[in-house]
Amino acid sequence: MSLLLEPPTSSPADDQGGATPQPERRPLLNLLMSGRTHGKRSAVTCLYKCDNACFHPAPNTSENGYFRDIANAVLSRRAALTGGAAAAAAIVIGANVVGGGQAASAAVPAGKGGAAFGFTPIAPVPYTVDAFTVPEGFRWDPIIRWGDPIFDAADAFDPMQQTAEKQARQFGYNCDYLDIIAHPNGKRAVLVANNEYTNAPIMFPPAATEEERLEQLRVTMAAHGMSIVELERKHKGSTWRYVVGAPRNRRITASTPFAVDGPAAGSDLLKTQDDPAGTTILGTFGNCAGGTTPWGTVLSGEENFNGYFRAENTGDSLTARGRRRYGLTPNASSYGWEAVDARFDARQPGYENEPHRHGWIIEVDPENPDEPPVKHTAMGRMKHEGANVTISASGHAVAYMGDDERFDYLYKFVSRDTFRPGKSAKARAHNKTLLSNGSLYVARFSGDSPASEITGTGALPADGQFDGTGEWVPLVVDNESVVPGVTTDEVLVFTRLAADAVGATKMDRCEDVQPSPRSGRVYVACTNNTARGTGTNEGATEVNPRNVNRDGHVIEITEAGEDAAATTFGWSILILAGDPSVNALTYFAGFPADQVSPISCPDNLAFDSAGNLWISTDGQPGTIGYNDGLFRVPLEGAERGNVQQFLAVPRDAETCGPVIHDTDQSVFVAVQHPGEEGSWEAQNSYFPDYVPAGALEGGKWGGPRPSVVQVTRA
């Protein structure tokens, strides 16, 4: 029999901008920005989330054409064809639709647009505040927290008694991608969340024995992956509660078997001594963003997989070059899992290919908890932030993907087969195969301003915009490599190397890439790149116009003919982020900068029913001194570019998700790594339970617990 677990609730927001006062726990001794690295992440995040990526040279050492060279060549070609004055204004107009079909019509809105979702923007919250802050008139409630039991209430959370077996039956750690997929009746739903990484020093007391230390490693393996739980509520607009023991509840961990499909399935590059067929892979980890498909499955991106492995990387073989390009080293891994599972030491005979089995887009069906999740090799291997799918005018499934690494690339996948509308089991079964076969592209951008006007400061060029055109350069077409001298499975396993070879444009960490369900335009969050323009690294380009880019930017792409399957596009920068009060060279689509909420390090993106863009951030404490948050940005009319802050997460935390159900007057976010800079003895956050330090009372704990939160009207 299913049981409802009701988590603790907050009090309605008070008149202090919605921040519920919390008791002072410990002296706040850190100076602003202390403990931060490279202008964004804390040292803890650098270690556990991305294997200290910023402390090493960017792995993209390719000498593919720099953006300025490409832009100047394009402008020269345009001038020769059309005359100099017209050249700078030229815009791509050909459709060039992939996979057949007709020239595209305008994108069809997904709905009629929702009722107004009004709120008074909150003031920025200083980075030392350990509170979840919402606008006046709103309240927040945790739906589910790290360690909450999802199969049986007997698996109650106790941080002093955690075991791998219990953790595999509890909600995982550090939730990132999130969706709430509601039943039409509005009273049932399923919650799907990624559990990206762990932070053992604040999860466990110091291990007293070696066996205890090894068991803690096994617990962290079980805390990774994905969590799927059913939700229930009394009526539309009320607060969701999760259901213990519900039929669709599921945990996917670092040890869950995955099916493998696509052109690289069975490749020699994927075979290990435990899987000589190369068709069954154990586990997923480092799962960052994702997307829910039009057919109701969920995609998840395997991102910083390199930090989980030890691997030799010397020599000139393809594997050695690939390992260097993906940041793999022979050093001890960030997590030390090689001590409890031999496959994480790729130096060992029989496990050389294990790192190749991670870095994919995975697909899971939340309606079928017994069905193995799938790793889609047709979509390429990289440090996937996530993938978001739309249906093109020609009926093909199109997935947009970012590779979250300094100087890496933006990608697009177009299915070979076409989408079948309808809710029948036959149509859904067919649609679940769409990401198994198709074509993979990488973006090459060109700007329309002279190189001399791209100064690296963020100052706008003479035409008043950072904008231009671009093309999707093919790597694989209908499952066949088009990169000379490289086989299809090599392109898909070493996608970064293939993209280097075709001269893709180096970007400032493409994170979430979201097509608008109303306009069809595509939005790319480039979170930051403090290495741009330093040392021998590439300098500013029109699509990445700042050197030492601390604050990041958001790009708006319009596909040719407004068709997602086109091979050419136009683009412009929507937001050049930062705090306008201290940085005059910010840009908000032309909206007055002195009227917007300061924003830095855009990460995840979402849309509401009215077509507004919502942006969650990751890194504001280290760049502008404020807690990370969630922001709404209108995209049309006089308010276009008016960034308005809706909420702020507690100290040290990152805002993930988000999910906007504005017609239901609800917003959901995943609060990742609250209090990450603390220790077991001196925790840095007490979110969301806010009970005395170390206490364990009625399921509440005096320490930080990554959680999924719902914000509703008070």
Q: What is the pLDDT of residue 110?
A: 34
Q: What is the pLDDT of residue 236?
A: 86
List own/partner pairs for 417-422 with CB under 8 A and 24 or more apart: 418/99, 418/394, 419/294, 419/295, 419/391, 419/395
CB 75 within 8 A of CB 390: no
Please, what is the end-to-end C-alpha distance for the chain in angstroms? 32
Residues in the chain, pLDDT under 50: 1-40, 65-115
Q: What is the pTM of this model?
A: 0.89
Identity (one letter) of the amino acid at 378? A
Half-sphere exposure of 269 (CA within 13 A, CB side): 23
Q: What is the pLDDT of residue 62?
A: 78
Question: What is the rounded distance in angstroms from the CA atom of residue 356 to the CA atom of residue 489?
Answer: 11
The residues, any chain, with a CB within 8 Å of residue 535's CB and separated by 6 or more, are: none
The residues, any chain, with a CB within 8 Å of residue 405's CB and separated by 6 or more, are: 53, 58, 59, 60, 327, 382, 383, 509
Q: What is the pLDDT of residue 51?
A: 67
Question: What is the rounded distance in angstroms from the CA atom of residue 405 to the CA atom of residue 147?
Answer: 31
The residues, any chain, with a CB within 8 Å of residue 688's CB and separated by 6 or more, are: 7, 8, 10, 132, 142, 145, 671, 705, 707, 709
Instruction: Give me the DSSP letters along 342-355.
Output: GGGBTTSTT-TTGG
φ, ψ (nearest 5 deg) of residue 435: -90, 10
Question: What is the rounded distance in angstroms from the CA atom of residue 201 to the CA atom of residue 43?
Answer: 13
Closest CA to 665 of 235, 210, 298, 21: 235
Pairing of the two strands 654-661 and 666-672: antiparallel
Alpha-carbon Rg for the chain in angstroms: 24
Question: What is the rounded distance in angstroms from the CA atom of residue 74 to the CA atom of residue 448?
Answer: 8
Q: What is the pLDDT of residue 56?
A: 66
Q: What is the pLDDT of residue 37?
A: 46
